Amino acid sequence: MRGIRNLLARLRLKMLCRKYRPSAISLPGGLRGLKNILVCLPPGQRELTMVKQFLPDLSRIFAESEIYLMASPGSSVYDIFPRKGYRIMTPSSDHVDWKGMASRKYLRLLKENEYGLILDFNLSPNHFSQSVLLSFPDAVRIGKGNSLGTPYYNLEIKTRYIRDEKNIYKSMVLTIDKLKNPAPAETNRNVR
């Protein structure tokens, strides 16, 4: 039964990818003035504790934005993540369809918040987060390079770290910070 669900979820995602029409993004302008940001959390406890270390950096980078944390279905994150400053969204069983994808009801709930940025911290693809990413064609969708690619992400952050999750998350956050707040170009005063 699990194999059939997986096959049907992949077919549904393939159909959604064919219909998908991404919108153009501009950087760093697309990262400024964002009202709401959705952070897709990874499913494992170890990965969740690593991601928690970088939430203060995300809050600093996007100080003007409301940050929503979306847990993977079935995971409990309320005892790990602080409630102050973040809105935690844990999908319940009726928010997941039988294929393991986000239900229409849950997608409507997410679309009410009009996310301008979706940051996917899932290092291994799952059908739930993939269906959420495809539902926001106008948002800047950022994920790890060599993971899902187009059309799921319109910005992939590649890193030299292959299996070191902590450094992968760190390099993603640092890259977003540099994209949003680029350093001013150095001027050479000796050149005439």
pLDDT tens-digit map of 68-123: 988 888 777 766 666 667 788 888 888 888 888 888 999 999 999 999 999 999 88
Task: Report if residue 192 sits inside a domain.
Answer: no
Work out the widest C-alpha separation in the chain, in whole angstroms. 73
Task: Report if residue 71 sits inside a domain.
Answer: yes
Number of domains the chain contains: 1
Task: Report if residue 190 sits inside a domain.
Answer: no
Domain residues for the domain of 60 are: 2-17+33-180
Task: Report if residue 27 sits inside a domain.
Answer: no
Task: Report if residue 67 sits inside a domain.
Answer: yes
Task: Report if residue 187 sits inside a domain.
Answer: no
User: What is the torsion angle, in degrees rounded to the nearest 10, for the CA atoms of residue 115, residue 28, residue 124 and residue 97?
Assistant: 20
Report how far apart, in Å, the C-alpha atoms of 100 and of each of 6, 12, 93, 131 are.
8, 11, 10, 9
* CATH code where residue 13 lies: 3.40.50.2000
Question: Model confidence over 116-170: pLDDT tens digits?
Answer: 999 999 888 788 888 898 888 888 989 888 777 778 888 888 887 777 888 889 9
Task: Report if residue 25 sits inside a domain.
Answer: no
Task: Report if residue 80 sits inside a domain.
Answer: yes
Question: Which backbone phi and psi does 2 adopt, to 5 degrees?
Answer: -65, -40
